[in-house]
Amino acid sequence: MHEAEVEITIPFHDVDMMEVAWHGHYAKYFELARCAVLDSIDYNYLQMKESGYAWPVIDLRIRYPQPTVFGQTVIARAKISEWENRLKIDYEIRDKTSGKRLTRGHTVHVAVDIETREMRMESPAILFEKLGVTP
Amino acid sequence: MHEAEVEITIPFHDVDMMEVAWHGHYAKYFELARCAVLDSIDYNYLQMKESGYAWPVIDLRIRYPQPTVFGQTVIARAKISEWENRLKIDYEIRDKTSGKRLTRGHTVHVAVDIETREMRMESPAILFEKLGVTP
Amino acid sequence: MHEAEVEITIPFHDVDMMEVAWHGHYAKYFELARCAVLDSIDYNYLQMKESGYAWPVIDLRIRYPQPTVFGQTVIARAKISEWENRLKIDYEIRDKTSGKRLTRGHTVHVAVDIETREMRMESPAILFEKLGVTP
Amino acid sequence: MHEAEVEITIPFHDVDMMEVAWHGHYAKYFELARCAVLDSIDYNYLQMKESGYAWPVIDLRIRYPQPTVFGQTVIARAKISEWENRLKIDYEIRDKTSGKRLTRGHTVHVAVDIETREMRMESPAILFEKLGVTP
């Protein structure tokens, strides 16, 4: 299983007038966990670029069963759940102390050839290689 | 129909190394359109708070068929599509010049009683009143 | 005089737990005004890049005599005050309705040759040309 | 000496088209270091609020001798340098590996009585107490 976790303490500048982290900032928390799992397979954003592909987000989903507050420490986990035609990553954020699940969601990415700007209908060989699977 | 549009010019500070607006910033563009439609029914965030209810986002979905670039002018539209038990708002972002659709998505909000912190299973009367509909 | 103004309505996502715009967001408001004045002399960020120079911020100063709140409409003004060796831009943010001054500050930028990555000790000819002044 | 350090890895979402961290984000890095030093004297933002005072930033200065890039790990240090009439905090950001100084700056804060909204001309007793100094 390809997954990784990062620890995040909710900073003051992410918290809104309702005294909870503003919902849009979770895209950053997801990205921190995503970068960790991509680092773990040796295929981070810089390596993606070097491989000739960009992997833009084409779909983002976030569900917020529970809010988070200033100073709360959470664990954000990212898990690669699909890779054959597109790269799908699932996320879960839970409270570090209680383990209670606070947020979940996913992102979907597709390979875009940086030179031609064309979207790939199947994931390129480099992704399978990095994941250690056969296409 | 309850809907509203805002015009947004993609600022430099929203654009990432791939030279497109970073995907997480669209939650801000959606919010600007959402605030416009809520203003149009006379039930903006401050009026929500005065009415005793917070309406946190419990679900956010964004699909990105096309990227946007620095200096591009787009139109973000928000439309209220559900209100009986929860408030659902649909969004569409299109290029101002070409009219081409760039992004679409939705947010789902539920009423939370600010005093008791309890989530409402049905939308409170005030929302129907503001929308000019009967529950 | 090279100056320009933009109108900004403080968005919800910029406002913190103290119910005022978080101080760091003013760097964005300054940038919106700066982009307007640079557009007015036909030397915006993209044109800077095409001219072979980046103009990074090397100094930022912001003073906050008064806070701003969610929904408040302000006018941000940028004025080019120095250009010979470095580009200095002064800013002022005032309340649209009352005209009261809320914020002031400046940024200092130096020309960096994009190819050699070397910092210029004097502003390049292109800046004088755009400003319509003789070096 | 009252000072504290935090380690920050520059995230992708902070990096702009010029492939460096956008200058405005450093206000966040300063805040992370500031929160650490305030925690160290047992007088963080929540404790400030409980003590009846807000301490808004009235002056922010950032100098950027060197840029930072995506994935770079830096150390941000905050040091309390004045407290008698206002709270002044000095910052320095350096590269973790080389130790090279990248950014420096300061913030100035004044105590505002939350109830009366009046600005204090002298720091309140609580600050001296937390700092372990006599007024």
Per residue in A20-71, pLDDT (tens digit) is: 999 999 999 999 999 999 999 999 999 999 999 999 999 999 999 999 999 9
Q: Does A60 contact B18 at a Cβ distance shorter than 8 Å?
A: no
Given this model, what pLDDT does residue B33 score? 98
Q: Cα angle vertex B112, ends B111, B115, to 5°? A: 140
Q: How does DSSP assign B17-45, residue by residue? A: TTSSB-GGGHHHHHHHHHHHHHHHTT--H
Predicted confidence band of residue D76 (pLDDT cuts 50, 70, 90): very high
Average pLDDT over residues C35-41: 98
Residues of B in contact with C33 (CB under 8 A): none
CATH of the domain at B27: 3.10.129.10
Check if A101 contacts B (Cβ < 8 Å).
Answer: no
Q: Does A70 contact C24 at a Cβ distance shorter than 8 Å?
A: no
Rounded to a whole number of angstroms, the distance from the CA of A128 to the nearest CA of chain D is 24
Per-residue DSSP letter, D10:
P
Given this model, what pLDDT does residue B79 score? 98
H or E segment at A36?
helix A26-40
Average pLDDT over residues D89-103: 98
Q: Which residue range forms the structural domain that includes residue B43?
A: 3-131
Rounded to a whole number of angstroms, the distance from the CA of C45 to the nearest CA of chain B is 9
Residues of A in contact with C72 (CB under 8 A): none
The whole-angstrom separation of Cα B127 and Cα B133 is 9
Taking CA atoms, what residue in C is nearest to A70? C17
Check if C60 contacts D (Cβ < 8 Å).
Answer: yes
Q: Does A17 contact C13 at a Cβ distance shorter than 8 Å?
A: no
How many domains is chain C built from? 1
Q: Which of D16, D20, D23, D26 to mutate to test the interface with B (most CBs of B within 10 A)?
A: D16
Rounded to a whole number of angstroms, the distance from the CA of B47 to the nearest CA of chain D is 23
Given this model, what pLDDT does residue A52 score? 97
Given this model, what pLDDT does residue A1 score? 77
Given this model, what pLDDT does residue D122 score? 94
Residues of D in contact with A32 (CB under 8 A): 11
Given this model, what pLDDT does residue D106 score? 98
Is pLDDT at A135 greater than 80 in this prediction? Answer: no
Q: Please choose, from the candidates C100, C123, C104, the residue with its C-alpha nearest in 3D space to the C-alpha of residue C113.
A: C123
Percent of the residues in chain C that have a pLDDT greater than 90, as a whole number: 98
Q: Is the pTM of this model over 0.90?
A: yes
Given this model, what pLDDT does residue B4 score? 98
CA separation (Å) from A115 to A122, B18, C57, D19?
17, 13, 31, 19
Predicted confidence band of residue D1 (pLDDT cuts 50, 70, 90): confident
In this predicted model, what pLDDT tens digit does every residue of A71-130 receive, in sequence order?
999 999 999 999 999 999 999 999 999 999 999 999 999 999 999 999 999 999 999 999
CB nearest to A59's CB, from B20, B45, B63? B63
Taking CA atoms, what residue in C is nearest to B19? C46
Given this model, what pLDDT does residue C100 score? 98
Output phi, psi for B123, to 5 deg: -65, 140
Residues of D in contact with A45 (CB under 8 A): 12, 70
The whole-angstrom separation of Cα C117 and Cα B40 is 50
Taking CA atoms, what residue in B is nearest to D11? B16
Taking CA atoms, what residue in D is nearest to C21? D56
Tally of CA atoms within 13 A in the half-sphere of B104 that contains its CB: 6
Torsion sign over Cα D91, D94, D99, D100: negative
Q: Which residues of chain B have pLDDT under 70?
A: none
Given this model, what pLDDT does residue D27 score? 98
CB < 8 Å from D in window 16-55 of B: 16-17, 19, 22, 24
Check if D101 contacts C (Cβ < 8 Å).
Answer: no
Quick check: helix, strand or coil at residue B91?
Answer: strand
**Predicted complex: ipTM over 0.90:** yes
Given this model, what pLDDT does residue C1 score? 77
Is pLDDT at C135 greater than 90 in this prediction? Answer: no
Taking CA atoms, what residue in B is nearest to D22? B13
Is pLDDT at D135 greater than 80 in this prediction? Answer: no
